[in-house]
Amino acid sequence: MFLSLLGLALAADPAPSIPFEKYTLDNGLEVILSPDSRLPLVATDIWYHVGGGYELPGRSGFAHLFEHIMFQGSRNVPEDQFFPILEGAGATFVNGTTDFDRTNYLETVPSNQLELALWLESDRMGFLLDTLTQERLDNQRAVVRKERQQSTENVPYGVAEEQFYKMLFPAPHPYNGVVIGTHEDLQAASLDDVKTFFRTWYVPNNATLVICGDFDPAAVKPLVAKYFGSIPGGPEPVVTTQMAPPIPAEKRADLTDDVELPKLYMGWVTAPVFQAGDAELQLAGMVLADGKSSRLYRELVEKQQIAQSVRAYQYPLTYGSVFAVEVVGKPGQTPGKLEAEAWRVLESLRAAPPEQAELDRAWTSTKARVLRGLEELGGFGGKADTLDYYNHHTGDPGFLAKDFARYESATPAAVQKAFAESIRKDNRVVVSVVPAPKSEGGAK
């Protein structure tokens, strides 16, 4: 009953599936249609297959910069009117995000406003450069640089997290650092550099458009052709990113920051998304730190009471995923103590398989999170975004049931094997952060 309320078809197993139709325009734009008449709404979700992980040395932050520029106006959309136009039409969700592996743009609108959303997306895909001036570039560059200050430099542990990724992915690998880029690279970007980036990556044959919701496919197909079909495709973008190299020996960094509590990061470069070991490591992360019954929480937070919070997770990426453990200590605790006790818990999973009950809890939690997301047509983790995610990484928008099967088939022995092979002392990055000393007056 629960799954049928989501508008999902049920396979016999009973793994869920999202009904869809996929086709490609002559210019290379992939289109995925998924009708769902539960609500009089339609979500559009377009993924450009470019993110921070596709950038060249000296060009960090370009993908995220374009996320901002894409909302500033195009040939037929006045400056700064993208949001107001959609909000005036009753949109319930409008946003865009950039990750290492992709950039996406999402809108959820009333069904009768779908044509408006398609027009807006097509205008900025086809005609953004008509209005991209040096002034607009300078304006958005300043906005992004301020965002970097607010999200990385002036937030607790922000600089430590950036250092963590720099050590995990040494330059020139483009996962080096944070997606937002550096001040130096952003400031050095010329108008010609930025236009070249757009012409390379923001072409129909490097994008996938998902439309999910209350619409008639027979009526929508001509609209997609009308607004997107005349935009010329470009040369196939050349991806130069390579798989991240293995970490040959332990790397460590000890930092001081304007924070109140010590924090420990431990990280490993692990199996790429959807490759062997990825699902097992995601389950291992949940066994370690998902909820109050997890191992790290029970030992460090409840029993020893040396930690304020714990996290362990597999961050799946195309060119090398990250398995990370983060521990925020209680006042007066040292990173050395946090590391020793956290590693002791990790060693218990390296030494023996998890209990089946632990895996069952981890999988139940994962499945519930996915199904909750699929209750929504649009937004992050909604049905449209899920179709785009699977299409981007596997070429199959309907990969959901196969993804579920990865977790359901993971045995305790397989989880232990993947964890023990990947999570060792000799291939890890350790970053510790301690509070900066206070002056005599009490200020740091």
Active site residues: 67
The residue type of 283 is L
Rg (CA), the chain: 23
Q: Which long-range contacts (CB under 8 A, 24 or more apart) does 155-158 make?
A: 156/257, 156/258, 156/259, 156/260, 157/257, 157/259, 157/263, 157/433
Tell me the residue ranges of DSSP E strands in 151-214. 207-213
Question: Distance between CA atoms of 159 and 140, rounded to whole angstroms?
Answer: 23
Cβ atoms of residues 107 and 91 within 8 Å: yes
Determine which helix (DSSP H) or strand (DSSP E) holds 371, and give its type and residue range. Answer: helix 356-373
The residue type of 162 is E
Count CA within 13 A, CB hemisphere, residue 408: 10
Question: Distance between CA atoms of 427 and 422, rounded to whole angstroms?
Answer: 8
Could you tell me the two tokens for 217? 């496919």
Q: What angle do CA 428, 421, 390 make, to 5 degrees?
A: 90
What 3-state DSSP class applies to 21? Answer: strand
DSSP calls for 285-341? HHHHHSSTTSHHIIIIIIIS--EEEEEEEEE--TT-EEEEEEEEEPTT--HHHHHHH
Sign of the four-CA dihedral 414, 419, 421, 422 = positive
Cβ atoms of residues 300 and 310 within 8 Å: yes
